[in-house]
Amino acid sequence: MEKKLLNCLGMMSGTSMDGVDISLIKTDGENFFERIIDKYYEFPDNLYDGLIKIRETINSKEDLKIQKKEIKNLEKKFTLFHASLIDDLKSNFEIDVVGFHGQTIFHSPKNKISFQIGDGNLLAQLIRKKVVFNFRKNDIDHSGQGAPLTPVFHNLISKKINEKNRNTSLYFINIGGITNLTKIDKNFDENFMEGYDIGPGNCLIDNWVRKNSTFKYDENGKIASLGKLNELTLNQAIDNFEFNDFKNSLDINDFDISFLRGLDFEEGCATVTEFTAYLIANGINNLRVRNTDSDLFIICGGGRKNNFLINRIKNYIHNEKRFIIKDVDYYEFDGDFIESQAFGYLAARSIYNLPISFPKTTRCLKSISGGVIVDNN
């Protein structure tokens, strides 16, 4: 039976914590996808400061208990802010369901927890709409890593992009706070796509910039491009880094910038950017298919705008003649809103009980749906 097309509003705030991306899409949760509107809303200063502060204090499961009162207060502010944005949109657009990711403040699959601030029950109550939230819990409950969840949407986009050259391997690289890679099956079969967290994305660079300046991030890599790379510090950081087998999802708490101690601002920015580029390239080199004529890597996320970082990644790529990299924007998708669109799409899949987690993406035991559905219509 044909599924009803739903107007799904995806809401995503990433590790930069500076605001929320909102995307309204029309989809059946399977092959139909149509963009309606994408918008970005900056968090008010008090909400931004509160999110940064709470994330810096949460380093363990125990910290979540200690900070329970602070988290609850912040969660209410966070949810009310999202509700106000939806109220503005409701007057102009029909919304069937909201995919509310929330703000991750602690992610630790080994402790069986991925904690996002955002009260889906309160949001549904306020907006009188169906809400899907807590997308990662069911995956973790089934021995998954809770991430990455976007590969199934990357797979859908790949069908739309429709790169038919069968001897080209197709990959998505999302450079957000963490960098994840999706390997697309040549027949676009979601059961055979693969997903991996491969290293830091913007998180270390943003952290260094925020702690050492009044800026929130290094726009287009301008600061890093002015600094001199400290090769000794870089090599020590690489030598000391414990490279994983790409089977585990990553959190920003898996990385820190203490190795930059003693460097000046621009030197530190250049060095942490180089470190990030090296780790991303290492993931790409290890996960590429070896028997194709060329590899097409489509990049999305905020990190794609950091040209300095992208060029440094290319510097470490093996067999660079086979390596083709293009912005997803080249294919008329807005690379700033892939994740918010994805959570609209995942909300539809949750409503229709379609899988959002797969053994080859999150290492769960079987393909499963996810998300908690609240219906307050």
In the prediction, which pLDDT does 166 show? 53
- CATH number, domain containing residue 362: 3.30.420.40
pLDDT digits (tens, 9 = 90+) for 61-108: 999 999 999 999 999 999 999 999 999 999 999 999 999 999 999 999
Q: Which tens digit of pLDDT belongs to each residue from 113-162?
A: 999 999 999 999 999 999 999 999 999 999 999 999 999 999 999 988 86
Output the CA angle 132-70-346, nearest 5 degrees. Answer: 15
Q: How far apart are CA 308 and CA 340, in angstroms?
A: 25
Is residue 306 located within the same domain as residue 163? Answer: yes
Contacts of 265 (CB under 8 A, 6+ apart): 212, 213, 223, 227
pLDDT at 186: 85
- Structurally, the chain folds into a number of domains equal to 2
Range of the domain at 189: 151-331
Residues 139 and 264 in one domain: no
Q: Are 343 and 101 in contact (CB under 8 A)?
A: yes
Do residue 116 and residue 240 come from a single domain? no
Does 128 share its domain with 245? no
Same domain, 15 and 101: yes
Does residue 320 sit in the same domain as residue 346? no
Assess if residue 365 is contained within a domain: yes
Q: Is residue 1 included in any domain, yes or no?
A: no
139 lies in the same domain as 175: no
Do 181 and 307 fall into the same domain? yes
Same domain, 302 and 219: yes
**Segment 275-305, tens digit of pLDDT:** 999 999 999 999 987 666 678 899 999 999 9
In the predicted structure, residue 377 carries a pLDDT above the cut 80: no
Could you tell me the strand order of the sheet in which 97-100 lies? 33-42, 19-27, 6-12, 97-100, 130-133, 372-375
- 294, 364: one domain: no
